[in-house]
Amino acid sequence: MEEVYNNLKKAIPEERLLKNEPMHKHTSFKIGGPADIFVILKTLEELKHVLYIAKSNNIMVTCIGNGTNLLVRDTGIRGIVIKLDFNEIHINGEEIEAGAGVKLPTLAQIAYKNSLSGLEFASGIPGTVGGAVKMNAGAYGGEFKDIIISTTYLDEELNLHTISNKEHKFSYRNSIFSETNDIIIKVKLKLIKHKQENIKEKMDENILFRKQKQPLEFANAGSIFKRKNEYIPAEIIDKCGLKGYNIGDACVSELHAGFIVNKGKATSEDVLKLIDHIRKVVKKQYGVDLELEIKILG
């Protein structure tokens, strides 16, 4: 890894190339052991360089967004962890092209300032564009599948591709990228011209609802389990009497039972044991197998 680090250093500034970087600094859960190498990339050329070196040395690569739906194990992540700082935004009429690293609240604000409607649902989601496309992020009746025109991505052979909306094979919190190692570079979105005051009203309403219904005062990774047509995880977890149940500093939120919060010093082991306990209780009482929405890394 030292040799790999030295090779990377030839193309990446040292302030963006970190060894044994604690992942708790880069996840909303504030949990996770060290990444062997953590690198923040600003250009496609830098990304290709890192991937080429990794492939040449048979080193695993993990790409993250804003770390908002991740649980990183206490032992950390081997190999190279990439965070994309691709933040370019271009507006052409009712279309917006945004880099994978653009934060969703930032993009929603820019859409609003340009009188473009369609991103109001994303105004309070703390993730990035790339992560949102990968998991078809959504809230308050809106999803990314509703507004995507195309996505440009880099495959494992370092070739660029652009796919249309239908080719994403979107489903609930899932897309074609959920099962591949392809890296999303940028996305083109189709929005609609609308009055600014109406857009602002909807954004404010969504943000207020989020503040009232979600435990934002504690570190968390959003909804732990996926919703299904047959059930809402938070409702059945609540009915099982699990609100407030804790293992260490990992606790089922008393405000929203679909969230696990870190009350200070929770470890990934605490969270994983709590997830396992919730699943067993729900299975016993309701016969339901809860499916994870968060991703576990490491």
Reply yes or no on whether 210 is catalytic: no
What whole-number distance in Å separates Cα of residue 197 and Cα of residue 51?
Answer: 45
* Catalytic one of 73, 143, 173, 253: 173
* Catalytic one of 117, 175, 223, 268: 223
Reply yes or no on whether 293 is catalytic: yes
Reply yes or no on whether 253 is catalytic: no
Residues 6 or more apart in contact with residue 73 via CB below 8 angstroms: 32, 33, 268, 296, 297, 298
As annotated, the active-site residues are 173, 223, 293
